[in-house]
Amino acid sequence: MLGSVCAVAKVPDLVKRVLLGRALRSTQGHEQLLPKRIALPVFASDALSSVAYAPQEILLALGIAGLATYHYTPWVAGAVVVILLVVVASYRQNVRAYQSGGGDFEVATENLGKPWGLVVASALMVDYVLTVAVSVSSGVENLGALVGFIQPHLVLVAIVIVAALAVANLRGLKESGIAFAIPTYLFMFGIVAMMLYGFARLGLGTHLRAETAGYVVHGPEEGIGGLALVFLLLRAFSSGCTALTGVEAISNGVPAFQKPKGQNAATTLLLLGTVATVMFGGVTALAYILKAKFADAGQNTHLINPATGKEVTSADPVIAQVAHTVFSNFQPGFAFVTVMTALILILAANTAFNGFPVLGSVLAQNRYLPRQLHTRGDRLAFSNGIIILAGMAGLLIYAYNASVTRLIPLYTVGVFVSFTVSQTGMVRHWNRLLRTEEDPGQRRRMKTSRAINAFGAVITGVVLLVVLVTKFLLGAYVVCIAMPILFLLMRSIRKHYDRVSAELEPTGEDVTLPARNHAIVLVSKIHKPTLRALSYARATRPSTLEAITVSVDPEEAAKLQEEWDSHNLPVQLKILDSPYREITRPVLDYVRNVRRKSPRDVVTVFIPEYVVGHWWEHLLHNQSALRLKGRLLFLPGVMVVSVPWQLASSDRLKGRPETFGPGSVRRPYAERPDESAGTIAERD
């Protein structure tokens, strides 16, 4: 019987081991570091996956003015490519200079001050959550183009996928990276093969047209010109800038790279920029040449079939249209690209799962977030950050019904805030170093880096203004509200931790021994737990020792006194009268009175407690003890000691293996030079 009970108790641990794998020692952290070939798909999948929706968002925005503005597509895409290359070049300077994992937050804090660091942190946290929501929603939408039966259940499927990604990341960075590397490389192969095959067929004179080529797009602003047209083009440009999201994740993930960390991160960024530029430019060019069209009734744009005059509502995503047209004579190619696109969009959320927990850990180190976010789990991943990210993204997917069109306007605001502030901070970083650097070669390199970061700050600042102006009323206002809330929340948390640290700072009086120790044992009846508490209290050799009980029934109190006397116990029993049948208040009043008579003394209250083995037994025992303990803890100069008595049911838990609790595994404290390790209670 006992064996079966123990087996049941171990079921949760067994499930955890199956899902997450065996626990890793802290000394195995170096085994989780990533080589460049794994780091590229882990940290760059978000930026690479934007190939699937950034061209579509450009066409969708241009469609507001109908077909007349579609010929601006190459120019808008070209502007996006320029911004992408500028940002990549700028961040290559960042990752070389700052390698601790703080990324934009660290750059802004050190060079512009703590408030700007919190602005960046707020922006990045919002953007990471949106990255998961947008990527998974878009992936499910593309998957629905191939597997029609999941379309009525997009929200449920998306939330299940987010949960699966969370579990994969809880297993550890390297293990999840290897699992995600193969699909990412297959996606890159599929897109490049589609581009080469498509351009080859066009070059050989094959007449290729998308299935929507003959349709007409109607929008609410057809025939516009002047400033309205400029605004529309800026809106299309801001939509296309979703291709830049994910670049910042590498700067937050530098600690995960193998040595030399900075150089490997910079090389990965260069690979990211090259691959993303080629893929985004190629897909957009094919979509334009094949005359693919896209509309969304949610943005008041409509796709009309001229032959029937009816609206077309079942058009596939743009990348699926391109793949279907290019591989019109090879359907397995279309299926491969569609499946890999859906998969990479889902896995693109992994970029956020690697960036958000590390950023949360850095913020927790700096006491802007709860210390539990600095906790490493069994697999040396920042488990709490992963779980929080998954939960927030799941709520966002549910709230927005997994609609990419509704989520996209919220996107890019946060990331361009971090881009702009970070690049401004890097300019000040180089200015500071140039004041003391005398080597001509180093000065030239620093000036070049400063020029790159300055250009990046100006360009990303302009894009940020464009994004805010063009997307504010479409939903970006939600981000503009969320960021200040996060900013104020983190400042409040830091103030709380600072206040507690100041309050706990030793003053010199704290090491002074109290004059006397008054021990009080709480008694409800004479039984083994009470006798153990009395024996333990006597063993501590207090200055005075007494037992107290509360009389809610005079007859029972008299019987208890008689029984006490009959046992010849060497401790006096004092009965506290309670005319209103309360237990807690008479005890508190008595303890306060003892403290009032001797303010320099301490009072130690011993409370017998049952140790039980079933959850329902907690409802039947220890309730009065819990209430008393909860109130006594607030009295200064009062120490509360629980004296356990193990009931027979607690035997079932004796063989249960210990599990790691929050705070049991962390980064080494050597990485926190700005503050001491603190007490165990403070760290947890």
- Can you tell me the mean pLDDT for 292-309? 80
pLDDT tens digits along 247-265:
766 776 676 677 777 778 8
Q: What are the tens digits of pLDDT across the range 476-489?
A: 788 888 899 999 99
> Is residue 80 very low, low, confident or very high in pLDDT (cuts 50, 70, 90)?
confident
- Mean pLDDT across the chain, nearest whole number? 79
Residue 179 has pLDDT above 70, yes or no: no
- Per-residue tokens: 81: 């490519």
Q: Over 60: is that where the pLDDT of 235 sits?
A: yes
Question: What are the two backbone dihedrals, phi and then psi, of residue 549, each rounded to the nearest 5 degrees?
Answer: -140, 160
Q: Determine contact, residues 291/73, Cβ cutoff 8 Å.
A: no
Give mean pLDDT, residues 594-621: 83
- 3 state DSSP class of 545: strand
Residue 529 contacts residue 643 (beta carbons within 8 Å): yes
Q: Quick one: pLDDT band at residue 152, thresholds 50, 70, 90?
A: confident
Strands 602-611 and 302-305: unpaired
Per residue in 306-324, pLDDT tens?
888 888 877 778 888 899 8
Residue 26 pLDDT:
40
| Of the listed ranges 173-182, 279-288, 292-301, 439-448, the one predicted with least confidence | 173-182
pTM of the model: 0.69
Mean pLDDT of 582-608: 88
pLDDT class for 510, splitting at 50, 70, 90? low
Residue with more model confidence, 93 or 520: 520
Higher pLDDT, 655 or 241: 241
Strand pairing of 544-551 and 602-611? Answer: unpaired
Confidence of residue 680 (pLDDT cuts 50, 70, 90): very low
pLDDT tier at 605, thresholds 50, 70, 90: very high
DSSP-assigned states of every residue in 320-363: HHHHHHHTTT-HHHHHHHHHHHHHHHHHHHHHHHHHHHHHHHHH
Greater pLDDT, 116 or 12? 116
Residue 677: its pLDDT value, please?
38
pLDDT of residue 536: 92
Strands 602-611 and 638-646: parallel
Of 238, 225, 227, 302, nearest to 68 by C-alpha is 225
3-state SS, 377-444, equals CCCCCCHHHHHHHHHHHHHHHHHCCCCHHHHHHHCCHHHHHHHHHHHHHHHHHHHHHHCCCCCHHHHH
User: What pLDDT is stored for residue 180 in this prediction?
Assistant: 67
Which residue in the block uniquely carries the two structure tokens 């079932």?
Answer: 652
Predicted confidence (pLDDT) at residue 199 exceeds the cutoff of 90: yes
Predicted pLDDT of residue 533: 92
The amino acid that residue 586 corresponds to is: P
Please report which helix (H) or strand (E) contains residue 560, including its range.
helix 554-566
**Could you tell me what percent of the chain has a pLDDT over 70?**
83
**Once rounded to an integer, what is the mean pLDDT over residues 326-336?**
88
The pair of structure tokens assigned to 452 is 């790159």
Mean pLDDT of 133-140: 82
Most confident of 18-22, 43-47, 104-108, 386-390: 386-390
Confidence band (pLDDT; 50, 70, 90) for 597?
confident
**pLDDT tens per residue across span 20-36:** 445 444 444 444 456 66
pLDDT tops 50 at residue 131: yes
Average pLDDT for 48-61 = 81
Spatial separation of the C-alpha atoms in residues 571 and 543, rounded to whole Å: 13
Average pLDDT over residues 587-595: 90
- What average pLDDT does the segment 100-129 reach? 84
- In this prediction, residue 486 carries a pLDDT of 92
CB of 429 within 8 A of CB of 155?
Answer: no
Mean pLDDT across 342-369? 81
Cα separation values, 83 from 410, 431, 457, 458, Å: 19, 24, 11, 11
pLDDT above 90 covers a percentage of the chain that reads: 12
Return the higher-pLDDT residue of 231 and 159: 159
Please state which of the ranges 37-46, 441-450, 482-491 shows the lowest mean pLDDT.
37-46
The pLDDT score that the predictor gives to residue 40 is 74
Cis peptide leading into residue 409 (ω within 30°): no
* Contacts (Cβ under 8 Å, ≥6 apart) of 155: 397, 398, 401, 402
Name the token pair of 466. Answer: 């464009």
**Beta carbons of 453 and 88 less than 8 angstroms apart:** no
Rounded Cα–Cα distance for residues 547 and 604 (Å)? 12
- pLDDT confidence of residue 554: 85
pLDDT of residue 538: 92
Q: Which amino acid is at 240?
A: G
The residue among 239 and 663 whose pLDDT is bigger is 239
Contact 576, 638 (CB under 8 A): no
Residues in the chain: 684
Between 596 and 403, residue with greater pLDDT: 596
Residue 94 has pLDDT above 90, yes or no: no
Q: Over range 418-443, report the average pLDDT.
A: 86
What are the pLDDT digits (tens) for 515-539?
Answer: 789 999 999 888 888 899 999 999 9
pLDDT value for 172 = 60
Whether residue 198 has pLDDT greater than 50: yes
Residues 312, 435: Cα–Cα separation, whole Å: 63
